[in-house]
Amino acid sequence: MPIQPVLNATVNQAALLAAPQPKDTASKIGKAATDFEALLLGQMLRSAREACGSSLTGDDDEDSESNSSLVELGEQQFAQVLAANGGLGIAKMVVAGLKHAD
């Protein structure tokens, strides 16, 4: 295997990494902020569930183990939908803060 093509590929990759990267677009920033808000909402929902009981019925029985994954998935989806539809306004504040910082 000749060394020259490998060396050229490595130099080209380094040049690409060193080149100035375009700034994040507004849509990427908005998506990241919405994902961040969804993560926070998911943590809040999990804390609320753990505070009042972990099963679907509120009873601590053996079914709570089998329902745990289902409930967690539902919380994640609910948090994503809430964040995508405005949620608590955290994503909007993050986007505004990032635009103001530029």
pLDDT digits (tens, 9 = 90+) for 52-88: 875 555 555 555 666 788 888 999 999 999 999 998 9
Q: Is residue 7 part of a domain?
A: no
Q: Is residue 89 part of a domain?
A: yes
Q: Is residue 14 part of a domain?
A: no
Q: Is residue 40 part of a domain?
A: yes
17 vs 11, 14, 28, 90, 102, CA distance in Å?
Answer: 10, 5, 20, 33, 23
Q: Is residue 78 part of a domain?
A: yes
Instruction: Note if the pTM is more than 0.85.
Output: no
Structural domain total, the chain: 1
Q: Is residue 35 part of a domain?
A: yes
pLDDT band at 101 (very low <50, low <70, confident <90, very high): confident
CB 46 within 8 A of CB 75: yes
Q: Which domain holds residue 48?
A: 24-101
Q: Is residue 75 part of a domain?
A: yes
% the chain with pLDDT above 70: 63
- Write down the pLDDT at residue 41: 95
